[in-house]
């Protein structure tokens, strides 16, 4: 088979501030946005009756709740397709050409009515800010309220699409701005065997359970898909989009998919320490036979690629651990070494059984933290969204002084299964 090399350049513009303005534009390293223009874009969807846009910055006494998704603004400059294919861009394979990125910025979606009970929190200051990467980004927060009686799945879709539309619209502002830096990535598919280097694949488990636990690949609900092999560069253009209302701590937002840290690390080591062979998106479904089918099918792809090792990532907790163990068992029996990455739910003191499933073959696990740990979040001067959901998310409760006592599972990205977190294990 002839080897095909794909190249993607990420042209990065480092933003230092964001402000509301009469005109949307970028001057220097400051992003100016017209609120009314963005609100008009959101209200194009008649399922949304009211919308607003607010700004949240590092160090401010601000709480964003309930957080639905986080998206990084980008725009396709050259090459096939566009960002967020099938949602914003055309249905065309992405991951090549030139994409321009507004670094340090994020579009965050929320509303004054919760979509599912497992939404999340982003605090821009205080102890909670230490647990989420999105306390460090310049956040353009889209507050969208649905029409009365809107069914939950339609509500989720309306918020999901609104966030993508706003991120793409802001990304368009980067077209006329000179980038600060350029990162160039190259991927051969199938990759040529490097000398004495282990061939590694990433098995990206994607929630596909229904009940608002959904992920989209090129606009297709992963519930309807078998495991799919991707060029890793497709992720950077938004080929995978979050539709999840899973616990905030281990939700893979769209931002996480676009900035997958494991993909970044594999590219850094490609040709030096390892031979990076691709990403297999493996849906985590509900029925046992569907789990078994996806595990066997995804593992077959890894075997056909000639993989020596597989990194298996978790999204969510509990049920998806059965999928992880099936992958580990199958792959190890094929002679493919496995590394599993995910969080634990080990009780507030860390003394409970941390995982819902296990297998002897899964003997290498990287923990991204115990999501049951308790944290106290002080009241904030400004709340974007709806703080009435505080006591719904992750079983939180309020003290008389307004302090929220909750598990860190309520915080967006706190124990992210891709390793996009500051938490780590320390031997004692």
Query: If DSSP states are collapsed to H, E and C, what string results for the chain?
Result: CCCEEEEEEEEEEECCEEEECCCCEEECCEEEECHHHHHHHHCCCCCEEEEEEEEECCCCCEEEEEECEEECCEEEEECCCCCCECCCECCCCCCCEEEEEEECEEEEEECCCCCCCCCEEEECCCHHHHHCHHHCCEEEEEEEEECCCCCHHHHHHHHHHHHHHHHHHHHHHHHHCCCCEEEEEEEEECCCCCCCCCEEEEEEEEECCECCEEEEECCEEHHHCCCEEECHHHHHHCCEEEEECCCHHHCCCHHHHHCCHHHHHHHHHECCCEEEEEEEEEEECCCHHHHHHHHHHHHHHHHHCCCCEEEEECCCCCCHHHHHHHHHHHHHHCCCEEEEEEEECCCCCCCCCCCCCCCCCCCCEEEEEECCCEEEECCCCEEEECHHHCCCHHHCEECCCCCEEEEHHHECCCCCCCCCCCCCCCCC
Q: Which residue has the higher pLDDT, 360 or 201?
A: 201
Query: What are the extents of the domains in the chain?
Result: 8-410
pLDDT at 211: 78
User: Looking at the predicted structure, is the pLDDT value of residue 353 above 90?
Assistant: no
Per-residue pLDDT band at 193 (split at 50, 70, 90): low
pLDDT at 136: 98
Q: At what angle do helices 320-333 and 288-304 cross, to 10 degrees?
A: 40
pLDDT at 196: 86
pLDDT at 252: 95
Can 245 be counted among the known catalytic residues?
yes
Single out the residue of 128, 133, 131 nearest to residue 424, CA to CA: 131
Average pLDDT of the chain, as a whole number: 92
Per-residue pLDDT band at 115 (split at 50, 70, 90): low
pLDDT at 265: 97
Residues 172-187 have a mean pLDDT of 97
At 20-58, the pLDDT tens digits run 999 999 999 999 999 999 999 999 999 999 999 999 999
Residues 247-260 have a mean pLDDT of 94
User: Looking at the predicted structure, is the pLDDT value of residue 210 above 70?
Assistant: yes
Q: Which residue has the higher pLDDT, 315 or 280?
A: 280
List the beta bridge partners of residue 189.
4
CA gap 84, 107 in Å, rounded: 14
Q: Is the pTM of this model over 0.85?
A: yes
Which one is catalytic: 222, 245, 249, 294? Answer: 245
């Amino acid at each position: 088979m002839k080897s095909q090399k794909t190249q993607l350049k990420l042209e990065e513009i480092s933003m230092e501030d964001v402000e509301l303005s009469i005109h949307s534009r970028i001057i220097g390293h400051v992003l100016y946005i017209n609120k009314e223009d963005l609100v008009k874009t959101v209200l194009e969807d008649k399922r949304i009756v009211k919308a607003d846009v607010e700004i949240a910055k590092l160090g401010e006494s601000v709480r964003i709740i309930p957080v639905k998704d986080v998206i990084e603004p980008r725009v396709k400059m050259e090459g096939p397709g566009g960002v967020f294919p099938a949602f914003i861009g055309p249905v065309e394979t992405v991951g090549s050409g030139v994409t321009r990125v507004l670094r340090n910025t994020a579009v965050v979606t929320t509303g004054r009515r919760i979509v599912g009970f497992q939404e999340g929190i982003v605090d821009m200051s205080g102890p909670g800010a230490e647990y989420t990467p999105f306390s460090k980004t310049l956040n353009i927060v889209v507050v969208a309220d649905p029409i009365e009686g809107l069914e939950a799945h339609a509500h989720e879709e309306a918020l999901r699409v609104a966030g993508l539309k706003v991120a793409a619209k802001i990304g368009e502002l980067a077209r006329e701005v000179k980038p600060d830096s350029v990162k160039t990535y190259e991927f051969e598919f199938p990759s040529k065997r490097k000398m004495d280097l282990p061939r590694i694949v990433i098995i990206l488990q994607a929630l596909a359970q229904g009940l608002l636990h959904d992920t989209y690949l090129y606009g297709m609900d992963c519930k309807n898909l078998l495991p799919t092999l991707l060029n890793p560069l497709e992720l950077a253009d938004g080929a995978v989009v979050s539709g999840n209302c899973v616990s905030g701590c281990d939700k893979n937002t769209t931002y996480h998919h676009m900035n997958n840290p494991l993909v970044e690390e594999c590219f850094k080591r490609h040709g030096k320490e390892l031979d990076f062979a691709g990403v297999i998106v493996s849906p985590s479904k509900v029925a046992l036979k569907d789990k078994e089918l996806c595990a066997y099918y995804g593992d077959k792809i890894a075997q056909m690629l000639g993989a020596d090792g597989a990194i298996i990532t978790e999204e969510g907790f509990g049920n998806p651990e059965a999928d992880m163990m099936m992958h580990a068992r199958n792959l190890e029996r094929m002679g493919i070494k496995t590394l599993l990455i995910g969080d634990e739910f080990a009780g507030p003191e860390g003394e409970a059984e941390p995982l819902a499933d296990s297998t002897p073959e899964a003997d290498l696990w990287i923990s991204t933290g115990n999501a049951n740990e308790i944290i106290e979040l002080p009241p904030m001067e400004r709340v974007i969204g709806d703080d009435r959901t505080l006591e719904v998310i992750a079983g939180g409760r309020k003290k008389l002084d307004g302090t929220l006592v909750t598990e860190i599972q309520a915080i967006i990205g706190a124990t992210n299964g891709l390793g996009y977190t500051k938490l780590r294990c320390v031997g004692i």
